[in-house]
Amino acid sequence: MNAYSSRMVRSFRNSSIKVRLSVLILLASTLFSFGLFQAVHSTLHASLSRQQNEFAHDRLRMLRAIVERKQDFLRIIGEDIKWEGENISLPSYYLRLIDGRGSVLIETPGMKELVPIARFEAARNRTGSSEEIYQSPNGRYFLLKSDASSSAKRAVTMQIALDVTPEVTADAVNSRKIALLIIVSVWLLTAVLLVALDRTLRPLDRLVDFSGRISGVRISERVDCEVWPLEVRRLGEALNAMLDRLEDSLIRLTHVAANMAHEIRTPLNNLMGEAEVALMQARTPEEYQRVLESGMEECARLTRLVDNLLFLGHAENPAMSISRVRFDPLSEVKSLFGQFAVQAQGKEAQLGCRGDLFLYGDPMLFRRAISNLLANALYYSPPGVRIEVAIEAGDGEMNRVTVRDTGFGISETDLTRIFDRFYRGDHSRANYREGSGLGLSIVKAIMELHGGSVEVASRVGAGTTFTLLFPRPPELD
């Protein structure tokens, strides 16, 4: 393939769907019209040829019967030739009889000039058959056929030239008419198909225009694709679904930004307020020390917030991976109980754990997830709460870690958004201000990094149960 052909192929591949389909339709219609013309022409031509051959064959068979059975066959055939010449201006066929020595016994007047004897022999030598369509010097067409008598006493060769000029002319005229009719019909059909193609692809242009208008302020708009063709309608519906997800993500991002600003503003306001109060008048060293200690607490709160946000940002990176080892989750939970002993004692909480299987994952991330759940259970529960951590073999390919408490419980409204960033239920916002609303988001991110998931079930006044599902690797089965 030369460079020009390569450019043409590349240009065709890069062209629009409309252009490519138009070219293919035109090519297909042209090939179809050619094939249809050939089929119709062959059928008509075969029908005419069959009729002509049957007539010529019947005449030869009749001549052979006369030659073989009649002593005066020359008189009988001569009268037939004479009658044909006297009553018809142009004979429909010409006859010639030749004896075994090659001498002409009888022939239709004028046949020698129109169809010489040698013409029949040339046809036999060229095609291997005694049959041929021949154009005479006067422009007329003849079907040439010959036969020989089977009688041993009378060796006679019979030649017949059937005038097929009307049939050949009609065949040519009909072929032109059929070709014209087929071409016009196919091109009309092609035009209709191209119009239908243009109307079918018009929704794609509308879809492109609509996509170009999408912006942050117009993200709530949707494309109306109810009356579009199925394939294009599916594309429009997919675009609308994508816009729904984008709009939902944008709303969530707006809420996250607002909540993050609120969470950052609170410690900053505390820092500024305490500093302003401290600077209003001279203070003792002890008072300045208390202001600095309070400022350090607010700075620590900001640091934890930033660390949590950084962790969530890294966890959403598809390229992030964790190091997995086989570890004992029960010992990790007991270690965490030691860290929460003071808080549990202040809440008069009862902590318990059970389980005897190993998990496969990152122990540090496991500790962080369980720590967040324990902190929530202790923080958002009344005194005397009972908290239990159970490590069990789950169904299928999952191991299950459940953290169950007998605290306040979570309403159904809050359950749907409890894993959103910075989300805190109305109950927690009204009574507990210390949390940032990122703890459960971090738990969910940790489980997704492990290829697992987290589930929650709760009833107001009866407590909450979080279930962590860890994949069980095949080598540990």
Domain hosting 460: range is: 325-476
User: 255: exposed, middle or buried (C-beta count within 10 Å: 0-12, 13-18, 19+)?
Assistant: middle
Whether residue 444 sits in one domain with residue 363:
yes
The C-alpha atoms of residue 469 and residue 447 are separated, in whole angstroms, by 8
In this model, does residue 429 exceed pLDDT 80? no
Average pLDDT value for residue range 424-435: 52
3-state helix, strand, coil in the chain (%, to 5): 60, 15, 25
In a domain, 379, yes or no: yes
In a domain, 179, yes or no: no
CA angle, 253 then 460 then 428, to 5°: 45
Please report which helix (H) or strand (E) contains residue 255, including its range: helix 230-279
Residue 435 Rama label (left phi>0; alpha psi -120 to 50; beta): beta
CATH number of the structural domain spanning residue 120: 3.30.450.20
C-beta separation of 145 from 156 below 8 A:
no
Percent of the chain with pLDDT over 70: 87
Whether residue 140 sits in one domain with residue 273:
no
Tokens at 110, concatenated: 């004028």
Whether residue 149 sits in one domain with residue 267:
no
CA nearest neighbour of 329 among 279, 403, 273, 245:
403
In a domain, 217, yes or no: no
Whether residue 14 sits in one domain with residue 114:
yes
Q: Which residue has the higher pLDDT, 55 or 432?
A: 55
Q: What is the dihedral of CA 213, 218, 219, 223, to 10 degrees?
A: -60
In a domain, 205, yes or no: no
The reported pLDDT for the residue numbered 4 is 55
Name the residue with tokens 């010449």. 85
In a domain, 411, yes or no: yes
Phi and psi at residue 418, to the nearest 5°: -65, -25
Name the residue with tokens 């519906």. 237
Domain boundary among 315, 343, 374: 315
Whether residue 283 sits in one domain with residue 332:
no
Tell me the residue length of the chain: 477
The C-alpha atoms of residue 22 and residue 16 are separated, in whole angstroms, by 10
Binned at pLDDT 50, 70 and 90, residue 432 comes out as very low
Domain boundary among 315, 345, 360: 315
Phi and psi at residue 415, to the nearest 5°: -60, -35
What DSSP designation does 400 have?
Answer: E
Domain count, the chain: 3
Exposure string over 440-457, b if 16+ CB within 10 A, otherwise e: bbbbbbbbebbebebebe
- Other CB atoms within a 10 A radius of the CB of residue 40 amount to 16
In a domain, 184, yes or no: no
Average pLDDT value for residue range 231-258: 82
The reported pLDDT for the residue numbered 477 is 44
Whether residue 330 sits in one domain with residue 251:
no
CATH number of the structural domain spanning residue 258: 1.10.287.130
Whether residue 346 sits in one domain with residue 310:
no
In a domain, 192, yes or no: no
The C-alpha atoms of residue 439 and residue 441 are separated, in whole angstroms, by 5
| Sequence-separated (6 or more) residues with CB below 8 Å from residue 383 | 347, 348, 349
Q: What pTM value is reported for the model? A: 0.52
321 HSE (CA, 13 A, CB side): 3
Whether residue 350 sits in one domain with residue 251:
no
CATH number of the structural domain spanning residue 458: 3.30.565.10
Whether residue 431 sits in one domain with residue 330:
yes
The C-alpha atoms of residue 374 and residue 165 are separated, in whole angstroms, by 107
CA nearest neighbour of 292 among 304, 279, 308:
279
Whether residue 470 sits in one domain with residue 359:
yes
Average pLDDT value for residue range 447-471: 89
Domain boundary among 315, 335, 354: 315
In a domain, 250, yes or no: yes
Whether residue 259 sits in one domain with residue 403:
no
Output the average pLDDT for the chain: 79
Pairing of strands 386-393, 398-405: antiparallel
353-374 pLDDT, tens per residue?
998 888 888 899 999 899 989 9
In this model, does residue 305 exceed pLDDT 50? yes
327-346 pLDDT, tens per residue?
999 999 999 888 888 888 88
Q: Which residue has the higher pLDDT, 333 or 70?
A: 333
Whether residue 246 sits in one domain with residue 139:
no
